[in-house]
Amino acid sequence: MVKRGILTVIVTLLFSNVFAQQNTLDSLKTKLSGLTPGAEQAKVLYLIAKETAESDPDSALYYLDHSKLMIDSLGMDSLQGALYVIYSTAHSYKADYDVSIPMAFKALEYGEQFGNHIDIYDAYTNLGIDFLYQEDYARSKEYFDKAREVAVQIASDYRLAHVLNNLGLIAGYQDSLDLELQYYNQALKLFEKIDNKEGIGNALLNIGTCYTYQEQYDKADQLYDQALVIFKKINYKSAYGHTLESMAENYNLSGNHEKALAVLGEALQIFIENENKQDQVYCYELLQDIHQQQGNYRAAYLYQTKYQEAYELIYNEEKAELSERLHLKYETAKKEAEITKLELLHQRQEQEISEARLQVWMMVGSLVFVCIIAGVSIVLIKKKQKADQLAQRSQMEALQKRYIELLNGPAKLDLSIDLETFNKRLVTPLTEREYETLQYSLQGMTNQQIADKIFVSLSTIKFHLGNVYHKLGVSNKKEAIEYVVKSS
């Protein structure tokens, strides 16, 4: 089967020329060494990550993490979109799509927030690439179409050409050859318009693969030759190798096995030098197929063995990387579970503390309430006692007044004359001294005044009044007055 054309990735706008890219990278690292933490250092770290996202995604992620720490601390949120684009790109090259896709959406969110059309375009392009790699061509086309709309909106022929090239790849995977050619030709015109050599070479290579599919081998060969001239001129070795690879396949299908072996050998050497293992596997497979067609089974077996070894090496590396990634995810999940557990314990402790505080406040509140009730009760009791005392005093004063009125009025009593009559009502009669003491008491005199009046001690007066109350059957002065008034 003919190998599809090159997916043009401009998400990070990387230098395809390896030497130019390395020079840029060296320059950035030199610049970084002379900077102190701050906005400028954050930008340089970002640019280094941008340059290494494809060739060394792990290093790119390292630089991104350091750049993001500074960007977050400095509040440079307008750069977050571009930062997440590179995060997405690096994870995409690691085939970690569970991370790269959310990162692209995060970049899209920031791009829309700050109205940055470049970030929006790059985010859509990354999403299109990730879904393409996962063979979800419908969703891939959806996001490439959105990227095309943005490119048209910002009038960027460069970005529009790249997205048209990628749409051509999707059309090819969906067996829409005419549409694929249409996209590639539109991309070629735009690249020629802006004189972008790399884009022109990629478009020529991709159009050549279409003609190989259509078995127009001579036409395809001419396009491959043009692409080789361009890639050699700009020293784009990996693209030069891919073009040789496609040219070898074109020769093989047209029956020119010797030419196919020659250019394929050259392509293999480039891939070995660049440590491009995936393309080495493809070359070994094609070499085995060509030698088998020629009846050279010994050579076919040799390349079959090389193919198997290279394939297993990649498989084992991928398997080891996958295992490491799964282990990392397991450890991350484990730590997240521990953090969640600690958070729950903390929440439980906080809840217990809150409940304890609530109980304390409730107890304090209850005590305060009880104290208030007790205080109010005491105040009420004291007020009642005071009211009762006032009432008793008022009643006593009224009785005394009534008693004096009886003594001084027209119907006054002569207690000295009526003592005998008064005593007849009593079981135990009063003595003259007791009667005299009672009379003075009922007139409102105090015990001390009575004692002074009759020349006796205070205790004697209290003794006489105690005997009087006992004989009258009363317990206090008030009841004694009531008794006398009623008797009058």
Q: What is the pLDDT of residue 413?
A: 41
178 class by beta-carbon count within 10 Å (0-12 exposed, 13-18 middle, 19+ buried): exposed
Q: Find tokens 């020329």 and name the residue.
A: 17
- The span from the CA of 323 to the CA of 337, in Å, is 20
**pLDDT above 90 covers what percent of the chain?**
43
Categorize the per-residue pLDDT at 408 as very low, low, confident or very high, splitting at 50, 70 and 90. low
Please, what sign has the CA dihedral across residues 441, 447, 448, 451? Answer: positive
Average pLDDT over residues 336-357: 75
User: How far is the C-alpha of 411 from the C-alpha of 281, rounded, in Å?
Assistant: 145
Q: Burial of 477 by CB count in 10 Å (0-12 exposed, 13-18 middle, 19+ buried)?
A: buried
Token pair, residue 36, equals: 């102190």
Q: What is the pTM of this model?
A: 0.60
Q: Which of 240, 250, 257 is nearest to 210 (CA)?
A: 250
Q: State the Cα–Cα distance between residues 290 and 294, nearest whole angstrom.
A: 6
Whether the pLDDT of residue 200 is over 70: the answer is yes
What is the average pLDDT across 198-227?
A: 94
Q: Is 287 left (phi over 0), alpha (psi -120 to 50) or beta?
A: alpha
Q: Phi/psi of residue 96, each to 5°?
A: -100, 75
Residues 225, 226, 232, 236, Cα dihedral to 10°: -110
The predicted structure's pLDDT at residue 10: 40
Locus of tokens 């217990």: 352
3-state secondary structure of 4: coil
The average confidence (pLDDT) of the chain is 83
Q: Which of 16-25, 297-306, 374-383, 430-439 comes out lowest in average pLDDT?
A: 16-25
Distance CA 229, CA 318 (A): 35
